[in-house]
Amino acid sequence: MKLLLKVIVLFLIIFNFEFPILYYSCTFSIVLCSFYYFFIRKSIPFTYFTFRYNVVLLIATFLIALLTAFISVAHGEDILSAFLKRLVLQGYMLTCLIYALPLLLEKESNAFEDAIQIVCYTFALQGIIHLTGFLVPSVGDFLFSMKRPEFQAFISNPAYNIDRFRAYALCGSIFFELPAAYGIACILFFRLQLKEGQQYISGWKSYVVMFLIFMGISLSGRTGFTGMFIGFVFYLIFSWRKVLNLLKKVVWQGLAAIAILLAAFYFILSPVQRLAFTEELFPFAFEAYYNYRDFGELRTSSSDALEAHYFNLNDDTLLKGHGATEHQVANYGHTDAGYMNHLIFGGIFYLLFLIIYQFLYFRLPLFFTKQGKKDEDRIDFVCFLFLLAYIFILEYKSASIGTLHIIEVLYLFIGVAYLIKYYWNEEENYLNKI
């Protein structure tokens, strides 16, 4: 029951959807945690607000927001730029997570594994909600009605050709950020599978969780498949010697799982639901395969469009930026690419500061895992390295470094969980460590 509470609390924080009265669901997470602290623990702890890793990240988030505001003002642009709004909300979400850490990470000795388990179950829960909304029209309509009227009008506008089912996720940011965050869950899922004798997400539970995460990616956006591929490669790096034995072990389980899914597809789903899969979901999720089948080219519409989103920037832009996003700068055309948007906004130094800010999430985990001599340390080092590399891959498509709410909260959660476990094993006072 407590695991469910932890999953719900993390769900409320990272997906941060609109919530009645309180406006943000992460605000409701504070209410839930406060009730737990007051009635169960009999005290409201602010323990992790003094943990230097968290302090550094909160201060760094504030400084990046301040720098973003200064750049806009220096260029005579609106101070409330899109980047600044995201950073302010990001700081609030990070604060909510830090307040919830005493509930989420109660056992220091298993903090890292517990955090990964909670993350995977949280995204599996999102997958359940999204899939239910897709299969049951009344649920989908309800989830769609929770979005703002202007957002509903945007989704419904045929000129944009956006699949309506993408709005069935219970999340405040559905287009790029949600599928990108699913990729983080995939990498962490495979990390947990590399742990010897782990009982967190194993056996039939691992198939269910991965299926729900897979469906969540399929319904929200293909970006998450990048993280799934990285996670699988990560898994193979440390288990390639066991692959043949592993295949022998799970082949029958895998075949049984496929048989169950096929039986459910043909005998449980209604004709309307099957048609929704074959005519709406599959062409969206597996567009690259459909294009290869029909035209002999392995591509997607988004990858084709991205080529036009990179163009030459003049020296003045590279040096100082314009304090505005690309669509507000007359000299440049539209671009979704993250590197381009950050350069146009603040120039090369702004992008550099964002990179430094992003690295702060990984500085200590990478340092300690690099110093370790155990196999677990090597695995964790590569895991953190891939998580860091993943955000730079995402930046190629859309603004990501330091500014994706869900991912930054996940990075802090995983980073602090690892450090708590590390300091506990070293029998050190982790609250005074940096």
pLDDT at 286: 60
The yes-or-no verdict on residue 248 having pLDDT over 80 is no
The yes-or-no verdict on residue 112 having pLDDT over 60 is yes
Task: Count CB atoms within 10 A of the CB of residue 109.
Answer: 11
Q: Quote the DSSP letter at residue 290.
A: H
pLDDT at 61: 94
The yes-or-no verdict on residue 365 having pLDDT over 50 is yes
pLDDT at 267: 66
The yes-or-no verdict on residue 166 having pLDDT over 80 is yes
Closest CA to 65 of 97, 35, 93: 93
pLDDT band, very low/low/confident/very high, at 295 (cuts 50, 70, 90): low
pLDDT at 55: 95
pLDDT tens string 33-68: 999 998 888 887 888 998 999 999 999 999 999 998
Give the E-state strand segments of 126-198 in sequence order.
none
Q: Which residue has the higher pLDDT, 315 or 395?
A: 395
pLDDT band, very low/low/confident/very high, at 414 (cuts 50, 70, 90): very high
The yes-or-no verdict on residue 222 having pLDDT over 90 is no
- Taking residues 87-102, report their average pLDDT: 93
Bridge partner residues of 24 (DSSP):
18
Helix (H) or strand (E) holding 41, with range, is: none
- Taking residues 323-334, report their average pLDDT: 66
Q: What token pair was written down for 111?
A: 């903090």
- Taking residues 80-98, report their average pLDDT: 88
- Taking residues 199-214, report their average pLDDT: 86
pLDDT at 92: 94
The yes-or-no verdict on residue 305 having pLDDT over 80 is no
In this structure, the chain runs to a length of 434
Task: Count CB atoms within 10 A of the CB of residue 335.
Answer: 20
Closest CA to 17 of 166, 146, 184, 176: 146
pLDDT at 327: 56
Q: Quote the DSSP letter at residue 176.
A: T
Closest CA to 118 of 100, 135, 140: 100
pLDDT at 173: 84
pLDDT at 434: 43
C-alpha pair distances (Å), 100 with each of 49, 59, 138: 11, 19, 33
The yes-or-no verdict on residue 306 having pLDDT over 90 is no
What backbone torsions phi and psi does residue 352 show, to the nearest 5 degrees? -65, -45
Average pLDDT along the chain = 83
Closest CA to 395 of 346, 350, 355: 355
Dihedral, 123, 125, 128, 134 alpha carbons, nearest 10: -70
CB-based burial, 226-238: b 16+ in 10 Å, e otherwise = bbbebbeebbeeb
Closest CA to 384 of 395, 397, 371: 371
Of 6-10, 280-284, 291-295, 351-355, the poorest mean pLDDT is in 291-295
- Taking residues 126-155, report their average pLDDT: 87
- Taking residues 359-383, report their average pLDDT: 92
Closest CA to 228 of 184, 287, 169: 184
Q: Quote the DSSP letter at residue 19.
A: E
pLDDT band, very low/low/confident/very high, at 148 (cuts 50, 70, 90): confident
Of 4-18, 241-255, 415-429, the poorest mean pLDDT is in 241-255
C-alpha pair distances (Å), 263 with each of 85, 128, 255, 269, 390: 47, 19, 12, 9, 36
pLDDT at 266: 65
Domain ranges within the chain, ordered by starting residue:
47-268+300-432
Closest CA to 331 of 323, 322, 343, 339: 322
Q: Which residue has the higher pLDDT, 9 or 334?
A: 9
Are 190 and 202 contacting, i.e. CB atoms less than 8 angstroms apart? Answer: no
The yes-or-no verdict on residue 113 having pLDDT over 90 is yes
Task: Count CB atoms within 10 A of the CB of residue 295.
Answer: 9
Left if phi > 0, otherwise alpha if psi is -120 to 50, otherwise beta: which for 247? Answer: alpha
The yes-or-no verdict on residue 366 having pLDDT over 80 is yes
